[in-house]
């Protein structure tokens, strides 16, 4: 009975690791052109940051897009004051 429980728990742990690996791989994958365009269309702040990254020859990942979107919300709100 203990062996079956241990094997079952190990199998579940392995399944969780596989699912997490797929999510991490997706986040760290290169962003597509439409993904980048959708972020830059919404925010001039995001456009500037991503243009700078592109000029530096850095690959833009989906994780970068999520980070830039979050970072630029307050900056875009403040920019409306000018």
- Write down the pLDDT at residue 51: 92
CA dist., res. 41 & res. 79, Å (int): 16
Residue 30 in 3-state DSSP? strand
What is the pTM for the complete model shown? 0.62
Q: Where are the domains of the chain?
A: 1-29, 31-82
Would you place residue 56 in the very low, low, confident or very high pLDDT band (cuts 50, 70, 90)?
confident
**Mean of pLDDT over the chain:** 83
- Write down the pLDDT at residue 23: 60
| Cβ neighbours around 81 below 10 Å, total | 5
- Higher-confidence residue: 12 or 43? 43
How confident is the model over 6-35, as pLDDT tens digits? 777 777 777 776 666 656 556 678 899 999
């Amino acid at each position: 009975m203990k062996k079956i429980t241990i094997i079952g728990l190990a199998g579940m742990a392995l399944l969780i690791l596989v699912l997490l690996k797929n999510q991490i791989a997706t986040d760290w994958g290169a962003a597509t052109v439409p993904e980048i365009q959708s972020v830059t269309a919404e925010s001039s702040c995001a456009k500037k940051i991503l243009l700078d990254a592109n000029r530096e020859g850095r690959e833009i990942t989906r994780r970068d897009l999520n980070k830039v979107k979050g970072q630029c919300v307050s900056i875009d709100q403040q920019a409306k004051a000018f």
